[in-house]
Amino acid sequence: MNQISPLAFVHPEAKLGDNNIIGPFCYIDRNTVIGDNNVFQNSVTIHFGARIGNNNEIFPGASISTKPQDLKFKGEETLCEVGDNNSIRENVTISRGTASKGTTKVGSNNLLMESVHIAHDCVIGSGIIIGNSTKFAGEVTVDDCAIISANILCHQFCHIGGYVMVQGGSRFSMDIPPYIIVGKEPARYMGVNLVGLRRRGFSNELIDLIHNAYRLLYGTGTRAENIQRIKEELEVTPEIQHIIDFAEASQRGLIR
């Protein structure tokens, strides 16, 4: 049975699962689907197009599936999908998609700290920590297990690889490949994320291999030449292949 405060508004067309707690002054719009065992503390707003999974906790002032802040948006029906077991803290805003992709996606087991903004058509993976007041512009992709610190500004269309650590206060407009640390001003490559990779169970041998891949990738040649050197000089494990694929696919260029 759902526990819905008499001071909350739930649209009759909203679809709720079971054992949800809806606190006072929450607003749940039509065309929304909510799973089981979610906790919406007071003053949470769930807008048109939200699709929320199970076991999420959403804190006061959060606004999910907001109208995109994009002048090209013409009111088309789009979605905002949120997975399971997320902690979405105070005043987080997540926009729904536009005609570009149709859906903004947030995976599972994420911590989105206070005042994070995720813009339209972003794709946020799983196992990610995003620090206070960090802002993602439209169509940003963040891969699994990234740690994005506080007060970060990320340009639209950027791709942030998995297992990275981005230091607080950074600003960037280029892609961040996986397994590395990015920081300083202007933001730049600071080395392999040794501590993070060890915590995730990467062996010392594999970390050394990743380090050697980046030594070559950030060498003196062109990106294509450096990628070719990685293919020729290193054992191409799945992790090294992931680095190669990421670098080859980058549209905005790799952070230096």
The angle at the Cα of 44, spanning 42 to 48, to the nearest 5 degrees, equals: 150
The verdict on whether 175 is a catalytic residue reads no
Exposure b/e, 92-130, CB count within 10 A at least 16 = b: bbbbbbbeebebbbbbbbbebbbbbbbbbbbbbbbbbeb
From the candidates 49, 83, 97, 120, give the one annotated as an active-site residue: 120
The verdict on whether 196 is a catalytic residue reads no
**Is the omega angle on the peptide bond into residue 186 within 30 degrees of 0, that is, cis?**
yes
- β-strands 188-192, 180-183: how paired? antiparallel
What are the start-end ranges of the E strands in 67-114?
Answer: 79-82, 87-88, 93-95, 103-106, 111-112
Instruction: Provide the CB-side half-sphere exposure for 100 (13 A, CA).
Output: 19
CA 255 to centroid of chain Cα atoms: 18
From the candidates 121, 161, 162, 196, give the one annotated as an active-site residue: 121
The verdict on whether 17 is a catalytic residue reads no
- SS percent in the chain: helix, strand, coil, step 5: 15, 30, 55
From the candidates 97, 138, 161, 196, give the one annotated as an active-site residue: 138
Give me the active site residues, please. 120-121, 138
